[in-house]
């Protein structure tokens, strides 16, 4: 029997109360792996001393804090395998950089603008409204604001020097999410935080049909940013499916056997890395 893998899970405290990475941790331990959980915001390290990561075969990151990103970069500099890579998380954490990459790659996205609120109010065409404003480093839908006109935009007290401004679409109350673990993709519908479902209408929450087009779209998004574990937030419009944004390591809500699939992926990727 092979020795257990030594797996470090870097996770902010807020995520340890969620289904991920808790589900991954439980499944890895059930498989006999040696798992250590590290809260990067409750730790102390001495620069130049790599002992904190020296024994790990792989480090899995769940979160976007500066502490977590710093430790991932440190581990990678020490030659450690990480899931996801620090640069991949950073690329989607910065929503401006993410939007630039999406728009430049040919992936279908809503029309998006970037700039100071006053200039956005002056230059975004009136017919493009409503617009949803997003902070550059927003997370978990925090800081989002829908404005319905140039005048409302101009009078918005935005707390940052610039914002992303994206065309906002009224939907049937459900968003489409594409969840990725490596090249494996699942489609899930989830109630939107902004559009309420029609009263008495069909409940669409749960696993959705994965068409070849959606599977290809999910893979393209993951590969664009170099992500192993990711979610793609989409909306379904009359013009087709549009990608809103990409998230690193989501909760994989309604993905069948998500914990097992995640654990198997981490083990397989680590074993492949060790074999090189």
Architecture of domain 172-248: 2-Layer Sandwich (3.30)
Question: Tens of pLDDT along 10-61?
Answer: 999 999 999 999 999 999 999 999 999 999 988 899 999 999 999 999 999 9
Are β-strands 34-38 and 163-167 bridged in parallel, bridged antiparallel, or unpaired? unpaired
pLDDT at 201: 66
pLDDT at 233: 95
Residue 144 reports pLDDT greater than 80 = yes
Residue 9 reports pLDDT greater than 70 = yes
pLDDT band at residue 271 under the 50/70/90 scheme: very high
The domain segmentation of the chain, as residue ranges, is 6-84+256-275, 111-167, 172-248
Q: For the ranges 73-82, 186-195, 225-234, which has the lowest average pLDDT? A: 186-195
Beta strands in 108-227 (DSSP E): 112-115, 131-134, 145-147, 163-167, 174-181, 184-191, 206-208
Among candidate residues 145, 240, 86, 223, the one with its CA nearest the CA of residue 232: 223
Average pLDDT over residues 152-177: 92
Among candidate residues 256, 230, 252, 255, the one with its CA nearest the CA of residue 243: 230
pTM, 2 dp = 0.93
What CATH topology corresponds to 6-84+256-275? Rossmann fold (3.40.50)
Residue 194 reports pLDDT greater than 80 = no
Mean pLDDT of the chain: 93
Architecture of domain 111-167: 2-Layer Sandwich (3.30)
Angle of helix 212-225 relative to helix 86-93, nearest 10 degrees? 110
Tokens 């390591």: give the residue.
Answer: 249
């Amino acid at each position: 029997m092979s020795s257990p893998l030594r797996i470090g899970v870097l996770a902010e405290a807020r995520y340890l109360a969620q289904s991920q990475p808790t589900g991954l941790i439980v499944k890895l331990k059930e498989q006999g792996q040696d798992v250590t959980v590290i809260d990067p915001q409750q730790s102390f390290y001495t620069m130049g001393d790599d002992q904190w990561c020296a024994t790990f075969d792989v480090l899995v990151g769940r979160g976007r804090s500066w502490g977590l990103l710093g430790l991932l970069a440190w581990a990678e500099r020490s030659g450690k395998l990480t899931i996801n890579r620090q640069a991949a998380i950073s690329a989607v954490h910065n929503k401006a950089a993410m939007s630039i990459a999406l728009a430049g790659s040919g992936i279908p996205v809503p029309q998006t603008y970037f700039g100071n609120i006053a200039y956005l109010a002056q230059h975004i065409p009136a017919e493009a409204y409503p617009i949803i404003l997003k902070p550059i480093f927003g997370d978990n839908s925090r800081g989002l604001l829908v404005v319905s006109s140039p005048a409302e935009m101009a009078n918005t007290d935005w707390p940052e020097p610039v914002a992303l401004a994206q065309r906002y679409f009224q939907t049937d109350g459900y968003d489409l999410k594409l969840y990725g673990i490596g090249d494996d993709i699942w489609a899930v519908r989830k109630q939107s935080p902004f559009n309420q479902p029609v009263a008495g209408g069909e409940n669409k929450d749960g696993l959705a049909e994965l068409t070849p087009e959606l599977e290809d779209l999910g893979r393209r998004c993951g590969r664009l940013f170099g992500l192993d574990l990711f979610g793609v937030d989409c909306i379904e419009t009359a013009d087709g499916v549009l990608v809103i944004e990409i998230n690193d390591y989501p909760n994989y809500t309604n993905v069948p056997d998500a914990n097992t699939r995640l654990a198997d992926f981490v083990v397989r990727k680590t074993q492949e890395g060790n074999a090189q």
